[in-house]
Amino acid sequence: MVEPKAWQVTAGSAAIGLALAAVAVVAAGPWDSGQRKAEREWAVAQGRAGGAHHGPSAPRTPAPAPSAAGVLAALAAPDTTRSGTGRSGTAHPESAHPRSTRPEAARGTGSPDFGRTLGRLLDADALGPSRTASVVDTATGEVLYGRGAATPMTPASTIKIATTAAALSALGPDHRIPTLVLATPDRRRLTLVGGGDATLDRKRLAALAGDTARALRDSGVTKVELRYDTSLYTGPREHPIGPNDNIAPVVPLMAGQGRLDASTTGPAPRSGNPAGDAARTFASLLRDRGVRTAEPPSAGRAAKGSERIARTFSAPLSDLVERALTESDNDIAESLARQTAIAAGEPASFAGAGRAVTAELARLRLPLKGTRLADGSGLNRKDKASAALLTALLTRAADPHHPELRPVLTGLPVAGFTGTLRSRYGDTSPAAGLVRAKTGTLTGVNALAGTVVDGDGRLLAFAFLAGRTEAPDTAQTALDRLSAALVPRTAASEPPAPLPARESAAP
């Protein structure tokens, strides 16, 4: 029997017309491994089953819905936001929302009354005295609802949408981050060079050690001096928040993100010297393969005349983006910000990355007034972004003319199922499986930005930002209710009931 959440996804998808779009998604391509492969399989299944699975082979959890570009193409979305060309062949006007700014816009019977419903939910006491909102039709750029949408707010981890979009735009989705082993001509001195891969793990270090040992055996070398090079990054190693379980020291060489336990996601105790730890692990792996080190590895650059004898690469940038967004991975986000800085010729530091990401967003013609990027992860309270910027970013990612940004959408957590939304939206929520959104949480700050398909088959981008909230749990529930209000009424018998509201609230 299909579990309740899977019924919600498949029945809801049928109700909102995604089955029609899915056939075109399969043909649209291109497709590659991982999440997008799952999307293709989902789309094919929906084409055969008419939008629902009932047999025993149905998955126990839903594969992601078709991504925006294919859906928009299937719906023959008008191209109304282009003027000129950019790096990817298209540029856009300064605002990604050039059309109506009415709180309510004409829509079919399947869409809720945004002006009344969202306004009431946005006034919930749980969202504190400062809250902003933006809801946009990604196909046309039409603003369907807004309150204080241009007001800069502390975005918390929703800033990762900006960080990942800039990296994809600057480097492309196929870019891979290298980790190198350099050797002197006599092969007696090795240097492990960090390239900024925050996903390097023991398994890939072992493969790198195997390649290195084979190269050394060919030269008859069984004992070496080992150094490790972290010179790619400049500036402070520690994030401004200081030592914290949510992020390792920001260095270009680490294994397992410097975690001191067996975890792979979420907060964990971190090493104070992840680069040194990675080098020591590498030395141990070399010994296992018959290559001894004369002494423990030390920090230092490669000797003059060194040449590469082995290297390993990260997964493609598209995969890194999806992981950073789904799990809100701070280490990957900071790495991607620095990769953008390197591509732009800026120092790979917090300041250089902030300038590079901002410049890349400006190149995409996004509304940046009041934006400040103090880091790539959103842990810094000095970060500022508007709800309008976040929905503009999602709109760019939904643009068929910007396929390089597509992982920004496919990486968003699925309500009630994946990543940081796995434990949110209960079984009875009409939004479970239908909303995809990036979360943002700091003490007193709560945010949610993502996408949903409405009752008219339109892909909507939304962003809700709240400041000076008193309790994260009630604030998150209020944000979940806001996003659930965008789900078409055909997928739920009633719109969500509002939380208690104040007499008045600051925009």
265, burial (CB in 10 Å: exposed 0-12, middle 13-18, buried 19+): middle
Check if 160 is active-site.
yes
**By C-alpha distance, which of 91, 138, 67 is closest to 456?**
138
Q: For residue 95, give the DSSP letter.
A: -
293, β-bridge pairs: 224
CA 172 to chain centre: 15
Question: Which tokens sit at 62?
Answer: 């839903």
Question: Which tokens sit at 443?
Answer: 């003490």
**By C-alpha distance, which of 246, 217, 206 is closest to 375?**
246
d(CA 374, CA 381): 8
d(CA 114, CA 106): 10
Contact 277, 258 (CB under 8 A): yes
d(CA 48, CA 67): 19
Q: How far is CA 480 from CA 58, 133, 185, 433, 435, in A?
A: 27, 13, 60, 12, 9
CA 45 to chain centre: 27
Q: What angle, 0 to 180 degrees and rounded to 10, lies between the N-to-C axes of helices 160-171 and 330-344?
A: 40
Check if 157 is active-site.
yes
**By C-alpha distance, which of 479, 339, 458 is closest to 398?**
458
Options 13, 67, 111, 157, the catalytic residue = 157
Options 328, 377, 429, 483, the catalytic residue = 328
**By C-alpha distance, which of 442, 453, 444, 503 is closest to 483?**
453
**Amino acid identity at 261:** D
Contact 181, 311 (CB under 8 A): yes
Q: For residue 244, give the DSSP letter.
A: B
Whether cis (ω within 30° of 0) applies to the bond prior to 430 is no
189, β-bridge pairs: 225
Following DSSP, what letter does each residue of 157-197 receive, concatenated?
GGGHHHHHHHHHHHH-TT---EEEEEE-TTS-EEEEE----
Q: Give Cβ neighbours of residue 219 (< 8 Å, ≥ 6 apart).
A: 187
Check if 377 is active-site.
no
385, β-bridge pairs: 153
Q: How far is CA 220 from CA 216, 289, 461, in A?
A: 6, 14, 60
**By C-alpha distance, which of 126, 165, 153 is closest to 387?**
153
DSSP, collapsed to helix, strand or coil, labels residue 79 as coil
Contact 309, 187 (CB under 8 A): yes
Options 5, 130, 160, 377, the catalytic residue = 160
Active site residues: 157, 160, 328
